Amino acid sequence: AEGRLWGGRFSGGPAEAMFALSKSTQFDWRLAPYDLAGSRAHARALNRAGLLTDDELAAMVAAIDRLDSDVTSGAFVAAPSDEDVHGALERGLMERVGPELGGRLRAGRSRNDQIATLIRLYLRDELRVVAAGVQEVVVALHDQAREHLGVPMPGRTHLQSAQPVLLSHHLLAHAWPLLRDVERIRDLDRRLAVSPYGSAALAGTSLGLDPEFVAAELGFSGSVPNSIDGTAARDLVAEAAFVLAMIGVDLSRISEEVILWSTVEFGFATLDDAWSTGSSIMPQKKNPDVAELARGKAGRLVGNLAGLLTTLKGLPLAYNRDLQEDKEPIFDGLDQLRVLLPAMAGMIGTLRFQPERMAARAPEGFSLATDVADWLVRQRVPFAQAHHVAGAAVRYCEERGIELTGLTASDLPAIDERLTSEVLSVLTVEGSINARDGRGGTAAARVGEQLNEVADAVQAI
Ligand code: ARG
């Protein structure tokens, strides 16, 4: 039973296939540093409760420190007989201080409260890395928006031409959801900052250990108010999986546009060589693989969330072994974003836009029709009628194969007598854009303010 944390009531060891199913060291090893941090704090709690002498505590902490450096250097690794990271590290401790002292550490704790605590410590660290990666993407969007202030482009709804907007406005529209994702991480961190240590198996510990002390030692803001909840809950892991999935979806929506923009048909942007790939057979190809991988990984991140929620659904309180299945989806999500976020920042930051082409497309598809209607409203025409008149102007142009910008004064009487030649003055992309000057609108002055708001939000991350 080497490295096994149980066995007294069993007449033999587990079947080979049972052990293979149960084993988790191949994926939970990354929690080792957190397990050791928990052990240090727990040893101090045992000492405060009179269950370890000062000398024993000193020997224990020194051994944990040695084990920690052996884990870091790779000198200590999981053995094939180790069931999970907790069991392996207890074995490592026993090997360093002997079974007498080593065997004292487990008093008053369970792998159930350990794992619930370690995953929170781990997520707090990892989500900070994610936030920094998201910040880089926002910076890339902001840089491009700042450089291209004044470039108009077609704004779309239903992917159909809608109203002209500024490219900068559009790019910043991708920055805000990412900033909210960072806010979600910060908000989630407050909930993650509560320690389940001391919940033990489910009912708490009878040994006089102080969960608040352990929580403070581990940098938490406090300990859980309910030991059953402390060991059984994984809503915070699911919430983290949601944030990762949401980031994936936000990146995927940017990516879909980059993919469209870099087609010959759009021709709005060119990918930098360093952030695209070629084809093994078609020499002309330059493919948007970063964007496509982002789109693909979004599906995977959503799958991780869905899988985790499905694992949790229907679990009775308190700990169930099903909960071991929370780790791989969240680890995978973090690993994916670790490679994806820097590539997204690189791709976006080096995208070369084609301002003339975007500007030329901006008035196409009758995108100034709303401006005609709005002009009529300013002439006191009720909007319902104004909408109808502007629609008639669109039909008139469509029949003649021209855009609204191609109308001349002589066309107007045939459309509606309320259209005077003054309306022609609003039929410009620049006029249309700068007319939308309420807060949040696409007018250049407003987008300029928005650039500052995003810069401030990036600073505050
Ligand atoms: N490795 C388990 C997990 O990840 C923790 C161990 C609890 N095992 C147990 N039999 N109570 O959830």
Burial of 225 (0-12, 13-18, 19+ CB in 10 A): exposed
Residue 142 amino acid letter: H
pLDDT in tens, 310-321: 999 999 999 999
For residue 38, report the distance from its CA to the centre of ligand 1, in Å.
Answer: 16
Q: Rounded to an integer, what distance in angstroms lies between the CA atom of residue 85 and that of residue 121?
A: 15
Q: Rounded to an integer, what distance in angstroms lies between the CA atom of residue 27 and that of residue 421?
A: 72
Q: Rounded to an integer, what distance in angstroms lies between the CA atom of residue 18 and that of residue 348?
A: 48
- Residue with CA at minimum distance from ligand 1 atom 4: 324
pLDDT in tens, 235-263: 999 999 999 999 999 999 999 999 999 99
Residue in 109, 319, 322, 330 to alter for ligand 1 test, most ligand atoms within 8 A of Cβ: 319
Reported pTM: 0.96
- Residue with CA at minimum distance from ligand 1 atom 5: 111
- Residue with CA at minimum distance from ligand 1 atom 10: 321
Of 43, 119, 168, 98, which is closest to residue 330 (Cα–Cα)?
119
| Mean pLDDT along residues 385-399 | 97
Which value, to the nearest 10 degrees, does the dihedral of the CA atoms of residues 363, 365, 366, 371 take? -60
Q: In whole numbers, what is the pLDDT of the chain averaged over residues?
A: 97
Q: Which atom of ligand 1 is nearest to the CA of 201?
A: 11
Q: Which atom of ligand 1 is nearest to the CA of 319?
A: 11
| Mean pLDDT along residues 369-384 | 97
Binding site membership of 188 for ligand 1 (Cβ less than 6 Å) = no
Of 369, 200, 352, which is closest to residue 261 (Cα–Cα)?
352
- Residue with CA at minimum distance from ligand 1 atom 12: 324
pLDDT in tens, 332-343: 999 999 999 999
Share of the chain above pLDDT 90, in %: 95
Q: Which atom of ligand 1 is nearest to the CA of 115?
A: 5
SS3 (DSSP) at 160: strand
Domains of the chain: 16-107 (1.10.275.10), 112-360 (1.20.200.10), 364-427 (1.10.40.30)
- 153's CB contacts (< 8 A; 6+ apart) are 164, 165, 166, 167, 170, 268, 358, 359, 361, 362
Q: Which atom of ligand 1 is nearest to the CA of 114?
A: 5
Per-residue pLDDT for 435 more than 90? yes
Per-residue pLDDT for 431 more than 50? yes
- Residue with CA at minimum distance from ligand 1 atom 3: 324
pLDDT in tens, 199-233: 999 999 999 999 999 999 999 999 999 999 999 99
Per-residue pLDDT for 70 more than 80? yes
| Mean pLDDT along residues 188-197 | 98
> What pLDDT, on the 0 to 100 scale, is given for residue 396?
98
Residue in 4, 89, 321 to alter for ligand 1 test, most ligand atoms within 8 A of Cβ: 321
Share of the chain above pLDDT 70, in %: 99
ipTM for this prediction? 0.94
Per-residue pLDDT for 178 more than 70? yes
Per-residue pLDDT for 161 more than 90? yes
Per-residue pLDDT for 154 more than 60? yes
Per-residue pLDDT for 184 more than 70? yes
**Residues assigned a catalytic role:** 158, 279
Q: Which atom of ligand 1 is nearest to the CA of 327?
A: 4
Binding site membership of 234 for ligand 1 (Cβ less than 6 Å) = no
For residue 131, report the distance from its CA to the centre of ligand 1, in Å.
Answer: 29
pLDDT band at 4 (very low <50, low <70, confident <90, very high): confident
Binding site membership of 141 for ligand 1 (Cβ less than 6 Å) = no
Q: Rounded to an integer, what distance in angstroms lies between the CA atom of residue 236 and that of residue 380?
A: 56
**Residue spans of alpha helices (H) in 218-365:** 227-232, 235-261, 289-312, 327-350, 355-361
pLDDT band at 8 (very low <50, low <70, confident <90, very high): confident
Binding site membership of 85 for ligand 1 (Cβ less than 6 Å) = no
> What pLDDT, on the 0 to 100 scale, is given for residue 1?
47
Per-residue pLDDT for 390 more than 60? yes
Query: Which has more pLDDT, 14 or 158?
Result: 158
For residue 314, report the distance from its CA to the centre of ligand 1, in Å.
Answer: 18
